[in-house]
Amino acid sequence: MNILVINAGSSSLKYQLMDPDNGNVLAKGLCERIGIDGKFTYKVGSKTVIDAKEVAMPTHAEAINAVLEALVSPEHGVVKSMDEIDAVGHRVLHGGKEFTASCVVDDACIAAIEKCIPLGPLHNPANLTGIRACQAAMPNKPQVAVFDTAFHMTMPPKAYIYALPYEYYEKDDVRRYGFHGTSHRYVSARTLEVMGLDKNPGDTKIICCHLGNGSSLSACVGGKCVDTSMGLGPLAGFPMGTRSGDVDITIVEYLMDRYGYDIKEMMNILNKKSGVLGISGVSSDFRDLSAAAESGNERARLALDKFTYEVRKFIGSYAAAMGGVDAIVFTAGVGENSADVRADICAGLEYMGVKLDADKNKTRGVEAEISADDSRVKVYVIPTNEELMIAKDTAELCK
Ligand code: AMP
């Protein structure tokens, strides 16, 4: 079976054609600058066959057509015809309270995604555009929507409710939703497998640290999410590349009054100019930050310290919330690649029974246990694979 996995943004579209049974990626790539000039990149295996070629893409429809053309092209296609593409799986940001799992795209599903637009105003419209473009290009292929929020819907009310007037929850759906759910689901399930507990997880307690440009933590008991750091939107939690994470709301009022910002400007500062970029003034990229910190840049060092300190605090609070922790798992760009960040986060957690093995922690980008043999809490690196989860859900729902 071959599943086309689509992650549509407002002016970009990532795609992968993969076999959900073995995770084998036949081809993948990126359409960028949709609505501007259109750039198309196409990779077979690790080889870039088409590199940012200019292709007219006034809308997502032309982008999807460019993807399909490349996949079946006699020159560098990976399938003979469209018949060999069985279904399409779409990443969708916000499923609101409606979606606790992935669903086959039909009129009701589209209406429900539309209903969630106020909760995901930047992403849901783009995701819908991707779905509609695929429906137009492949009217007979089943399509599945996989939601970033769905995995977190098992949180108990005390974790998802905000201490605001209850009517905002009842009437306006204001609550914690959480994001990166497909990654947290993959990583927590894979961790149980690695621990040999997937058939019988009991109440195994896992903290998943998805640390990338956007970052979030989840607390999972027996493979089910019980808490997560992002909230109604993906700005919440600890500092990220450019997002502030949780801040005292008083700061918002104070800065808006002082500088006359409107709410759009203020949100832009919190989303795009804050996080480790805001503190350091250097970069949102952790490689740049590490290099700057090593060459003596104190604000870059402070940004890294702030990041690891806040992640450590979240780990402590989730251990308290779950009554212990059996495994801590690192994933995504920073979590998979930065031994220093992992070591700094774990450095304050010895009291909880967390002991890293410095040699094992030197690993990068591959699955590994990095805790010392006598560590009470296991620590792992598990590279995330959201596309595989999307492909598996799609295959399962289209059987
Ligand atoms: P993601 O959002 O998961 O793609 O992660 C992107 C982030 O991973 C980038 O901002 C980088 O800061 C970070 N990253 C990638 N490789 C490394 C590395 N070798 N060391 C530290 N950070 C890395």
Atom index in ligand 1 nearest the CA of residue 241 equals: 10
Q: Is 345 left (phi over 0), alpha (psi -120 to 50) or beta?
A: alpha
What is the predicted pLDDT for the residue at 97?
Answer: 92
Residue 348 confidence class, pLDDT cut points 50, 70, 90 = confident
Residue 119 has pLDDT above 90, yes or no: yes
Atom index in ligand 1 nearest the CA of residue 286 equals: 12
Range 105-133 average pLDDT: 94
What is the predicted pLDDT for the residue at 102?
Answer: 98
What is the predicted pLDDT for the residue at 312?
Answer: 98
What is the predicted pLDDT for the residue at 195?
Answer: 98
Q: Determine contact, residues 59/8, Cβ cutoff 8 Å.
A: no
Range 352-373 average pLDDT: 97
Q: Helix or strand or coil: residue 181?
A: helix
* Cα–Cα distance list, 376 to 220, 225, 318, 354, 379 (Å): 18, 22, 17, 6, 9
Helix axes 107-115, 123-137, angle to 10 degrees: 160
Cβ(285) to ligand 1 under 6 A? yes
Side chain identity at residue 64, one-letter code: I
Cβ(340) to ligand 1 under 6 A? no
Residue 374 has pLDDT above 90, yes or no: yes
Residue 122 confidence class, pLDDT cut points 50, 70, 90 = confident
Cβ(334) to ligand 1 under 6 A? yes
Residue 211 Cα to ligand 1 midpoint, Å, equals 8
Tell me, yes or no, if 203 is annotated catalytic. no
Residue 270 confidence class, pLDDT cut points 50, 70, 90 = very high
Give the whole-angstrom CA distance, residue 321 versus residue 351: 17
Atom index in ligand 1 nearest the CA of residue 210 equals: 3
Say what the pTM is: 0.95
Cβ(344) to ligand 1 under 6 A? no
What is the predicted pLDDT for the residue at 276?
Answer: 98
Atom index in ligand 1 nearest the CA of residue 384 equals: 3
Helix, strand, coil percentages for the chain (3-state, nearest 5): 40, 20, 40
Range 38-57 average pLDDT: 95
Residue nearest to atom 9 of ligand 1 (CA): 285
Residue 10 confidence class, pLDDT cut points 50, 70, 90 = confident
User: If you average pLDDT over every residue of the chain, what do you get?
Assistant: 96
Residue 399 has pLDDT above 90, yes or no: no
Residue 71 has pLDDT above 90, yes or no: yes
Range 257-274 average pLDDT: 98
* Cα–Cα distance list, 398 to 55, 321, 352, 391 (Å): 32, 38, 44, 10
Residue 288 Cα to ligand 1 midpoint, Å, equals 10
Give the whole-angstrom CA distance, residue 110 versus residue 104: 10
Give the whole-angstrom CA distance, residue 33 versus residue 130: 14
Digit-coded pLDDT (tens) for 153-178: 999 999 999 999 999 999 999 999 99
Range 3-26 average pLDDT: 95
What is the predicted pLDDT for the residue at 98?
Answer: 87
189: tokens are 């399930």
Digit-coded pLDDT (tens) for 282-320: 999 999 999 999 999 999 999 999 999 999 999 999 999
Residue 318 Cα to ligand 1 midpoint, Å, equals 24
